[in-house]
Amino acid sequence: MNIIKGFPATSQVSYQLNVTNILKHGARSFGKQEIVSKKHDGTFFRYTYRDAYERVTCLANSINSLDIGIGDKIGVLSWNTYQHFEIYFGIPGTGAVMLLLNLRLAPKELSYVVNHAEAKFIFVDENLLYIAEEIAPFCKTVKGYVIITDKRLSDLSTPLEPVYSYEEILSNATPEYKWPNIDETSAYSACYTSGTTGRPKGIYYSHRDVYLQALIYAANASISIQDCVFQVVPMFHVLGWGTPYAATLVGAKLVFPGRYNLNDLEDLTKILVQENVTISNGAPAILMPLLEHIRKLDSRPDLSAVRFISGASEPPIAMMKGFWDLTGAEIIHSYGSTEAHAIVTLNRVVPALEKEFFEEERWDFKRKQGYIVVGLDVKIVDENGNELPHDGKSVGEVLLRGPWVSGSYYNAPGSEVQFTDDGYFRSGDAGTIDSEGFLKITDRLKDLIKSGGEWISSVDMENSLVSYPAILEAAVVGCPHPKWQERPLALVVLRDEFKTKVTKDEIKEHLAEKFAEWQLPDEIRFVKRILKTGVGKIDKRTIRMQYKDIYTSK
Amino acid sequence: MNIIKGFPATSQVSYQLNVTNILKHGARSFGKQEIVSKKHDGTFFRYTYRDAYERVTCLANSINSLDIGIGDKIGVLSWNTYQHFEIYFGIPGTGAVMLLLNLRLAPKELSYVVNHAEAKFIFVDENLLYIAEEIAPFCKTVKGYVIITDKRLSDLSTPLEPVYSYEEILSNATPEYKWPNIDETSAYSACYTSGTTGRPKGIYYSHRDVYLQALIYAANASISIQDCVFQVVPMFHVLGWGTPYAATLVGAKLVFPGRYNLNDLEDLTKILVQENVTISNGAPAILMPLLEHIRKLDSRPDLSAVRFISGASEPPIAMMKGFWDLTGAEIIHSYGSTEAHAIVTLNRVVPALEKEFFEEERWDFKRKQGYIVVGLDVKIVDENGNELPHDGKSVGEVLLRGPWVSGSYYNAPGSEVQFTDDGYFRSGDAGTIDSEGFLKITDRLKDLIKSGGEWISSVDMENSLVSYPAILEAAVVGCPHPKWQERPLALVVLRDEFKTKVTKDEIKEHLAEKFAEWQLPDEIRFVKRILKTGVGKIDKRTIRMQYKDIYTSK
């Protein structure tokens, strides 16, 4: 877009938006507000914003002494811990770029990312050393490893070299640092897309992007100094969805769960209660199992002060209602992506619309991605790029434009096609916008099922399936069909107590309440688990491959 | 400050922060949220963000057809009305600059401002025509006047020419407009300082300044879509303290009082109740009389859902306690200035500090300007520019730096001294910062009273005076003294019911509870009213002039 100069203002134009200032200023203004972090040994580490900032200045000094400087890329392999929080500010504040490494990616993909970014150092949690060790032989640009550990280096056994201890380099550094005034359009951090198709692609977020997103997040989700924010979303996913910055910006208490997986639901539940959490975040991939865990408890926690920001995929009504009924917690659906940051939309109650709903419609409405936050241009277009009406029916690809949306991928020849001439990012999501401006993602464009020239939404069908009491999880994909082009296939995981008690016909009958006869899946398969990608989404590409002959080989 | 380039990011760098987008996007996402505006005839005008935006596009088209273009300055003389709200977005969106005219300034000062800015047009409310008419002969650059009125032009009698009707030009325009992508560092609007010393000086706010301030405001004051914001602060003061933007950004209901003055306290109170206001703003100059009005009501309104952002001068404890005890409303002290926008600090409860206070200390603490919001560098320095410690005691001049602080005055030779070499604005305020980062303004530097080499704060003494039940208003100034350099003089307005019942000695006794013997005013004078400036602050310069001989002529 052409930029037009107006009359000059009298502003301090040389003062740049700088993410590290968010903590520097936060420590000044909310010095005694608390940060809590669960350690690997199960104990809790507690300190304050002021303490954190002091360590961040030490970190900045120490990485400079490792010969890391402006423009260098530094890989980070870590859980959600207070040290990761420090790294969020300490590395980029010096002008280096924090390269967030998704610890669930395959080693081959990870080393590709490290090499593509030409990472100079890798910071790695002691519990994730095995990943660094596996990829190290292929990472030619890496000059050293900083191990995040409380142990002495001599007590660790690793073939990596040279290695440094995070705690040691911090304790040797002085707690004062003169932060450079980094140009705000310079890279703050890089995340790579998970790459379900093709190679992972790099998004290099500017300081400006992240700063604005933090402000937009805090303002739209009403995160305040009174809140306690529990950072459940992995901090290597889209900068932890921006929550750590938003919380710091307003001085909220912050809680990090440390290392956790689906076996630690009891611990997560305990933290929610014990720390008086009021805001948390997560994908249904973690929120659904969390609800299942809570469902089975004799004494269910009161989470009526908690709102969960739920993203990555559509929150099933059953999940939203379940949390509400069992714990009082509210689920707020939010939509974002690696390319567009976490908060593109938010589904909060708009008072002027509230009276328009009946109870059941309200729950259905909460499935929508929500209103588009101020700051972004969003449109839906057909295959020819023509903008579609906001009627809640017309399905088109969602295009995004705005100050914190990516305008390109880093060094990825051929990827230019994902951006339009007028500056929009093609999200790859198919969706509708209703007359009140609410976005609803129907499906990933490539996951929409085309049957006899008509579209079937796999997301809608999955949502309907998991609303059936017997069904724990479900995946719906389109499989090639000689007559109809594609026909839906449903994979279903039954709850233990319903196994052998449910028939496919019963499930079809349930679906028929919401779907037309021709939309119903030709096949329903009971499976033990649903295949997921490294970022926890249903791996539909692989599922389609596995079942590609199901309708053609008959 | 030197800007250092880092590694390039992949962001959409050509997308500019543009204030008009705040309403454009607000109308899209919160289309049915309500805007209410009291009209001159006492009725209420109601419409929605969507309606407002449609009229704003008409406004943009119509001003272009008046040959107003990029970089032109357009004066605005208006009350807080929905049309003023439209002008906030319609004029600057085209690339023109909205010049806010303080209708309480003297005509000579106003015409100086119009000429200094070389305003091309003036938008004027029909009730303020008399001001435009008075200054028109001296405003050589003004090519025409747009009158904000529901009446037909032919029903108005004015010597101004040429004149246009706001409603007519809007009704002749099309409701579609292609907004230019204005460089975000270009001027959005100009406000001139009130000029208690020297000529008024112009601050030309950039789009970026205003956009960031709106975000900072919404995030720090926790303004949300659930709120109803009542815009009491005149919209010609520091952009109405940014509240109209913050409210629009999050989709809050907005209420404008129209024309009001100190005789309309009953109306303001009614609006607070009837519209279910949750956030409002104002200086003690309006909040004190409002509280006095409420105190006398037989049935006091329940304002327990309301928080007032109070600025411009320190809120007296008596006022904060009064609102709390009588109505349940909370007063939140905020500090800002024309040069630094509205929200430099905010005094909200920091949970980590809460337990440190006893009840009385809490009220005293609320007098502080508050914590400095994230984004700004603030320091206090002595006369030689040395930074002073944050001990809550050391008094120095407050220096401000940040993305929404002014770096210069427009075309004001000699004013460079108000900015330091390292980019700070010298606020002219004297203050302390405590160990928790809370700013307390002791006084305007020039209002501090220097007696025998020691400082006395006129603000503290005024606050103590109005906490005495008999005292309605007070002003304290330093007057030249042959021996002590300066000695304090107190002017006091007694409440009607206490007149003739209070002695000066009783007042001195009251002051002696908080002040040392040598700090007490040599003279206390009972007066009928306290002289105020055009922006409603105590006019200490004139008071000092009036009483300059009081201690020397004896």
Q: How near does any CA of chain B get to the CA of A219, in Å?
A: 4
The domain in which residue B532 lies consists of 448-546
- Give the lowest-confidence range in A71-80, B292-301, B392-401, B464-473: B464-473
Tell me the C-alpha distance between B186 and B69, whole Å: 14
d(CA B144, CA B160): 8
- What are the φ/ψ torsions at residue B214 (nearest 5 degrees)? -60, -45
Pairing of the two strands B377-381 and A73-77: unpaired
What are the phi and psi torsion angles at B38 (to 5°)? -80, 130
Name chain B contacts of A374, Cβ cutoff 8 Å. Answer: 21-22, 25-26, 29, 248-250
Q: How many CB pairs under 8 A join A and B?
A: 287
CA angle B103, B107, B111 (to 5 degrees): 95
Is B8 among the domain residues? no
Q: Dig out the tokens for A327 from the structure.
A: 């714990």
Q: Just list the catalytic residues of A.
A: 193, 339, 450, 455
Supply A247's token pair: 């919380």
User: Which residues on B lie below 8 Å from A220 (Cβ)?
Assistant: 250
pLDDT digits (tens, 9 = 90+) for B321-365: 999 999 999 999 999 999 999 899 999 988 988 877 777 788 989
CA distance B220 to B333: 12
CB contact under 8 A, A186 and B6: yes
Q: Which of A158, A303, A234 has the alpha carbon at shortest distance from A534?
A: A234
The rounded mean pLDDT for chain B is 94
Residues of B taking part in catalysis: 193, 339, 450, 455
Which member of B13, B181, B187 has the closest CB to residue A407?
B13
- Chain B hits for A16, CB-CB cut-off 8 Å, are 3, 403
Task: Give percent above pLDDT 70 in chain B.
Answer: 99
Maximum CA pair distance of chain B?
74
Radius of gyration of chain B (CA): 24
- Do residue B401 and residue A219 have CB atoms under 8 angstroms apart? no
Task: For residue B494, give the amino acid letter.
Answer: L
Using a CB-CB cut-off of 8 Å, the residues of chain B touching A277 are none
Interface test with A, best of B7, B355, B369 (most A CBs within 10 A): B7
Question: In Å, what is the CA distance from B109 to each residue of B101, B189, B466, B532?
Answer: 10, 18, 32, 16
DSSP string, B231-291: --S-TTSGGGGGHHHHHHHHT-EEEE-BS--TT-HHHHHHHHHHTT--EEEE-HHHHHHHH
B183 in the same domain as B34: yes
Residues A189, A97 contacting (CB under 8 angstroms): yes
The confidence band for B196, taking pLDDT boundaries of 50, 70 and 90, is low
The Cα A486–Cα A467 span in angstroms is 25
CA dist B191 and B236 (Å) reads 7
B69 to chain A, minimum CA–CA distance in Å?
10
CA distance A542 to chain B (A): 30
Contact B186 A9 (CB under 8 A): yes
Cα A363 to Cα A551: distance, rounded to the nearest angstrom: 35
- Chain B environment of A15 (Cβ under 8 Å): 1, 401-403, 405, 423
Condensed to tens digits (0 to 9), the pLDDT of residues B364-398 reads 899 999 999 999 999 999 989 999 999 999 999 99
Find the closest chain A residue to B406 by CA distance. Answer: A11
The letter for the amino acid at A143 is K
Of residues B4, B14, B34, nearest to A181 (C-beta): B4
CB A276 within 8 A of CB A227: no
Same domain, A390 and A461: no
Distance from CA of A45 to the nearest CA of B (A): 17
Collect all residues with Cβ–Cβ distance below 8 Å to B392 and sequence separation of at least 6.
B432, B433, B434, B435, B438, B440
Beta strands in A277-401 (DSSP E): 279-282, 307-310, 330-337, 341-346, 370-372, 377-381, 396-401
- Determine whether A22 is exposed, middle or buried from the number of CB atoms within 10 Å of its CB (0-12, 13-18, 19+): buried
Residues B183 and B326 in one domain: yes
Using CB atoms, pick whichever of A12, A219, A406 lies closest to residue B249: A219
Is the Cα dihedral B346, B349, B351, B356 positive or negative? positive
Q: Tens of pLDDT along B81-137?
A: 999 999 999 999 999 999 999 998 889 999 999 999 999 999 999 999 999 999 999
Q: How far apart are CA B85 and CA B34, in angstroms?
A: 13
Contact B326, B300 (CB under 8 A): yes
Integer Cα distance of A313 and A292 in angstroms: 18
| Domain membership flag for residue A465 | yes
What is the number of structural domains in chain A? 2
Residue of B nearest to A21 (CA): B375
Same domain, yes or no: A513 and A454:
yes
Kindly determine whether residue B437 and residue A28, on different chains, have CB atoms separated by under 8 Å: yes
CA atoms within 13 A on the CB side of B436: 21
E strand spans, B60-112: 73-77, 97-100
In a domain, B102, yes or no: yes
Q: Which residues of B touch A22 (CB under 8 A)?
A: 374
Cis amide prior to B180 (ω within 30 degrees):
no
Does A15 sit within 8 Å of B1, measured CB to CB? yes
Whether A468 and A481 share a structural domain: yes
| Chain A residues closer than 8 Å to B95 by CB | 4, 6
User: A182 φ, ψ to 5°?
Assistant: -70, 135
Nearest Cα residue in chain B from A351? B226
Q: What is the CATH number of the domain that holds B99?
A: 3.40.50.12780
Closest residue in chain A to residue B346, using alpha carbons only: A29
Identify whether the C-beta of residue B258 lies closer than 8 Å to the C-beta of residue B79: yes
Residue A174: burial class (beta carbons within 10 Å; 0-12, 13-18, 19+): exposed
Check CB contact under 8 Å for B21 and A216. Answer: no
In Å, how far are A1, B446, B464, B533 from B459, measured between CA atoms?
51, 12, 9, 16
- Name residue, tokens 């679906």: A511
CB contact under 8 A, B373 and A29: yes
3-state secondary structure of A345: strand
Q: Exposure pattern of B198-237 as b/e (b: 16+ CB <10 Å)?
A: eebbbbbbbbbbbbbbbbbbbbbbbbbbebbbbbbbbbbb
On whether both B307 and B379 belong to a single domain, the answer is: no
Of B368, B293, B381, residue with least CA distance to B331: B368
Structure-block tokens of residue A428: 């790859």
| Cβ-contact B257, B271 below 8 angstroms | yes
Chain A residue with the nearest C-alpha to that of B18: A375
Whether A436 and B32 lie within 8 Å, measured CB to CB? yes
Q: At what angle do helices B317-327 and B359-366 cross, to 10 degrees?
A: 120
Query: What's A454's domain CATH number?
Result: 3.30.300.30
CA distances from A114 to A130, A192, A411, A469, B282 (A): 16, 10, 14, 44, 54
Q: Are residues B439 and B509 in the same domain?
A: no
**Which residues have a Cβ under 8 Å from the Cβ of A352 and sit 6 or more positions away?**
B30, B32, B33, B34, B48
The C-alpha angle with vertex B73 and arms to B70 and B78, in degrees rounded to 5, equals 130
Distances (CA, A) of A404 to A117, A217, A331, A415, B7: 21, 12, 25, 19, 17
> A527 to chain B, minimum CA–CA distance in Å?
41
Contact (Cβ atoms closer than 8 angstroms) between residue B139 and residue B120: no
What pLDDT shows up at residue B84?
98
Q: Give the gap in angstroms from C-alpha A18 to the nearest C-alpha of chain B.
A: 9
Residues B77 and B202 in one domain: yes
Between chains, do B225 and A350 touch, taking CB under 8 Å as contact?
yes
User: Do the chains contact at B10 and A408, CB–CB below 8 Å?
Assistant: yes
- Residues in chain B, total: 554
pLDDT recorded at residue A553: 79
Nearest CA to B317 out of B507, B490, B495, B466 is that of B466
CA distance A318 to A324: 10
B4 falls within a domain: no
Residues of chain A short of pLDDT 50, as ranges, are none
Q: Which two tokens stand for residue A94?
A: 């010096």
Query: Would you state the structure tokens that stand for residue A326, as one six-digit string?
Result: 């069992």
- Where a domain ends, among A416, A444, A472? A444
For residue B3, give the nearest of A3, A14, A212 by CB distance. A14
Is the domain of A436 the same as that of A453?
Answer: no
Instruction: Give domain status of residue B1, yes or no.
Output: no
User: Do B350 and A26 lie within an 8 Å CB cutoff?
Assistant: no
Phi and psi, residue A143, nearest 5°: -100, -5
Amino acid at A140: K
Q: How far is A283 from chain B (nearest CA, A)?
A: 24
Is the residue at A84 inside a domain? no
Q: Is residue A9 in some structural domain?
A: no
| Count of beta carbons in the 10 Å neighbourhood of residue B529 | 9
A425 lies in some domain? yes
Nearest-CA residue of chain B relative to A423? B12
Judging contacts by C-beta atoms under 8 Å, the chain A residues touching residue B202 are: 10
Nearest CA in chain B to A22: B374
Q: Classify burial at A156, counting beta carbons within 10 Å of its beta carbon; exposed 0-12, middle 13-18, buried 19 or more.
A: middle
Whether A468 and A536 map to the same domain: the answer is yes
Domain shared by A541 and A520, yes or no: yes
Domain containing residue A400: CATH number:
2.30.38.10
Q: What is the SS3 assignment for A132-177?
A: HHHHHHHCCCCCEEEEECCCCHHHCCCCCCCEEEHHHHHHCCCCCC
Distance CA A445, CA B502 (A): 80
Q: Which of B19, B28, B29 to mutate to test the interface with A (most CBs of A within 10 A)?
A: B29
User: Measured between alpha carbons, how far is residue B115 from residues B120, B140, B315 in Å?
Assistant: 10, 7, 36
**Among residues A396, A419, A444, which one ends one of the domains?**
A444
Per-residue DSSP letter, A330: E
DSSP string, A433-476: E-TT-EEEEEEEGGGSEEETTEEE-HHHHHHHHHTSTTEEEEEE
* CA A235/CA B464 separation, integer angstroms: 51
What ipTM was estimated for this complex?
0.91
Q: Note whether B29 contacts A437, CB cutoff 8 Å.
A: yes
* Residues contacting residue A96 through CB under 8 Å, at least 6 positions apart: A63, A68, A69, A70, A71, A72, A73, A74
**How near does any CA of chain A get to the CA of B452, in Å?**
35
CB contact under 8 A, A409 and B10: yes
Last residue within a domain, chosen from A422, A444, A466 = A444
Residues of chain B contacting residue A93, judged by C-beta atoms under 8 Å apart: none
Q: Is the per-residue pLDDT at B186 higher than 90? A: yes
Considering the domain architecture, whether residues B441 and B452 belong to the same structural domain is answered as no
